[in-house]
Structure 1
């Protein structure tokens, strides 16, 4: 499975190349596990920006840790009208994952694990949302969080 990942750093200071390589490894493992090919963008922001996005798109007036904006939402029949054989060569645009760096730092301390572990968790969490997972019910939460742990364990990004 092949996945193209673009990292956009809107947060200062920028994340290290080592952390970006780790996040790439985590997301590549998530794509293999889910048997998904495509492209996604991961943007790193501050609490003010994610608060703004959370308010605008979810109607929740507070910062959050991660937001996902899927490009391939189920039920978008109108897009199927435009799909034909020529579009088979087009990349599968999975969507965008937005991560708040200050929120990730805060949660890493709160949960007593590394910043790297928290960033990996948030990246996988966002990726799984792009691929139809949710945690609205207990059963959905068990499935999604179980899948996250499976992926993180495979790249040895375990809880400390």
Structure 2
């Protein structure tokens, strides 16, 4: 049985568990993971410590199964890209789950595959962020560096 810890998050636990079941094969090691919500200041500390980038980011995932989310950064991005905050944050969590399952976006091919899987999982969860009237989903370089 897989479980997820969501304390005072406002995130739909069943939707996240469904995302995990869609992304992670039953034999994979992700049996439990936790979502941790932090301030931009705390996220910048994590980002500096683990990625050597001195700024907050939207989401980080760790091999231990912890997913750290910065709702303030996610809210800024959702507004910038024309998505609801709830759907954008869910997509970020799906993105983190894909990382926990071993996916990455180091190459264009990997990035394309990962975005395809994100789209597919989000579609199965009942929403789509592709083809939004305000903007397209940015590539990961744009998210990591908005001045790209």
TM-score bracket, shorter-length normalisation = 0.7 to 0.9
Aligned residues: 126
1:57 deviation in Å? 1.1
Tell me the TM-score normalised to structure 2 length: 0.79
Structure 2 CA distance for aligned equivalents of residues 58 and 100 of structure 1: 15
SS in 2 for 1:70: coil
Corresponding residue for 1:114? 84
Work out whether residues 108 and 115 of structure 1, in 8 Å CA contact, stay in contact via their aligned partners in 2: yes
Pairing partner for 1:148 from 118, 128, 147: 118
Larger proportion of strand: 1
Tell me the TM-score normalised to structure 1 length: 0.73
1:46 deviation in Å? 1.0
Structure 1 CA distance for aligned equivalents of residues 6 and 17 of structure 2: 14
Corresponding residue for 1:5? 4
Structure 2's unaligned 5+ residue stretches are 133-148
Corresponding residue for 2:146? none
Structure 2 CA distance for aligned equivalents of residues 103 and 3 of structure 1: 28
1:96 deviation in Å? 0.5
Structure 2 CA distance for aligned equivalents of residues 51 and 129 of structure 1: 20
What's the RMSD between the two structures over aligned residues?
1.5
Larger radius of gyration: 1
Corresponding residue for 2:127? 157
Structure 1's unaligned 5+ residue stretches are 9-13, 72-94
Q: Is 1:49 aligned to residue 19 of structure 2?
A: no
1 or 2 for the larger relative contact order (CA 8 Å, sep ≥6)? 1
1:38 deviation in Å? 0.4
Superposition pairs of residues 1-160 of structure 1, within 5 angstroms: 2-8=1-7, 15-16=9-10, 20-21=11-12, 24-33=13-22, 34-36=24-26, 38-71=31-64, 95-159=65-129, 160=132
1:26 deviation in Å? 3.2
